[in-house]
Structure 1
């Protein structure tokens, strides 16, 4: 019988260096809010999303491509950019057939780290596109690294919760010999029936709710409301 591919979960970008990503699909997870926003923009017809690490690159690329520039640092829109990191800012009536250049505190950083370390494929995931992510991972039969963007390299619960949700759906197709993956699945199993209450305990909830973003955060843990698969190709995330 052929060995099953493996799943590992990294709880912080600072742990990525401990893993060989060259033979793995890396799923970038930044539930609050980058990967939820990316899925939403593409679901609503965006041509592509270009993730960049720096504000300067965001401004320059946006100007060169006549694209929409967006980003946040510490939950706030960056001065000089047009829009923020809220999924609600990207309805079809606004984003369809447009290019979005996005820089965020944590998610875009981890994405570029995965690429720099030679990941064989990079996709992005959050609850709004969980089914597309899981179907893709099952179909490819390759090793998977679930990469939690965390918060400034510190563990956070919401990204780990999503990793656990993915594992609970696909584990029969994989070998899971990874304590962080087992912990993530246990967290999800314990709280899957009260997710809206559970996320109110997270530090990121308190950080972003202070800016009136409660409805954003609830959307970000709602399954399959933007069920597309963002895949990194030719320097941009596009619908697979």
Structure 2
């Protein structure tokens, strides 16, 4: 058995995903504000599964077929034609237990589709609320890893990079990491780890969500480590508890 460690890379934007070899790798979809935090919270609170889709019409049609909840956002607000958005705190146990959430978002669900198209072997979703579960899984799998940051419409964003840094900081001894974006992510996380919520107002997406929509409690939840510590694992079109 080879003692060589698997590799870990951090992809800072969906626009860069084509530069990474996803075959045989575990890809972690990271969309901290808010898709992957919402997915973790819904599954943690008893959702049967989450079905990620790339368009609002698809979400509406599919939710009718499976008697599920069609939800999602475009540009941070509830998408037209949907009753429920991308706020994790909406999906409390009384509402979501034993139900299927059909979710479409600006960045996260799109990146997941791209990972599939690029032949990723295993896909999970990660955010601060399920940091521990993600790290445990990556160590156990012992496969090459690509941390995929959803960013904002292909642009770089800090909150996804901070989460990638948090993962790297906890698991780096198990991986070979020769990757400047991973080094950047970990250094950024180490600088801010003691007060992520205090750092948040500097982030552009914070302003999008808080100043326009007042979603400060969403932001607090999305930056709280292990508040919904489940592993969303992608299997045959569904995100289920892994």
Question: Is 1:16 matched up with 2:17?
Answer: yes
Q: What CA deviation, in whole Å up to 9, does each residue of 1:185-233 have, x standing for no partner? A: 0000011011111111000000100201011011101000100000000
The within-5 A match list for 1:169-188 is 169-188=170-189
CA distance in 1, matches of 2:149, 2:200: 16
CA distance in 2, matches of 1:208, 1:232: 27
Deviation at 1:167, TM superposition (A): 0.1
5+ unaligned residues in a row in structure 1: which ranges?
none
Secondary structure in 1 aligned to 2:194? coil
Q: Which residue of 2 aligns with 1:138?
A: 139
Select the residue among 213, 229, 232 that pairs with 1:230: 232
Deviation at 1:94, TM superposition (A): 0.6
Q: What CA deviation, in whole Å up to 9, does each residue of 1:76-97 have, x standing for no partner? A: 1012112000011000011000
CA distance in 2, matches of 1:201, 1:176: 29
The within-5 A match list for 1:102-181 is 102-181=103-182
CA distance in 2, matches of 1:66, 1:93: 17
RMSD: 0.7
Deviation at 1:14, TM superposition (A): 0.4
Aligned pairs, number: 240
Secondary structure in 2 aligned to 1:209? helix
Q: What CA deviation, in whole Å up to 9, does each residue of 1:24-58 have, x standing for no partner? A: 10000000000000000000000000000011110
Deviation at 1:234, TM superposition (A): 1.5
CA distance in 1, matches of 2:200, 2:161: 12
CA distance in 1, matches of 2:79, 2:20: 33
CA distance in 1, matches of 2:220, 2:168: 21
Secondary structure in 1 aligned to 2:85? coil
Structure 2 length normalisation: TM-score? 0.98
Deviation at 1:145, TM superposition (A): 0.2
Secondary structure in 2 aligned to 1:130? helix
Q: What CA deviation, in whole Å up to 9, does each residue of 1:68-114 have, x standing for no partner? A: 00010011101211200001100001100000000000000000000
Structure 1 length normalisation: TM-score? 0.99
CA distance in 2, matches of 1:158, 1:198: 10
Deviation at 1:64, TM superposition (A): 1.1
Q: Structure 1 residue runs of 4+, over 3 Å off? A: none
Question: Is 1:45 matched up with 2:46?
Answer: yes
5+ unaligned residues in a row in structure 2: which ranges?
none
CA distance in 2, matches of 1:35, 1:91: 15
Q: Which residue of 1 aligns with 2:217?
A: 215
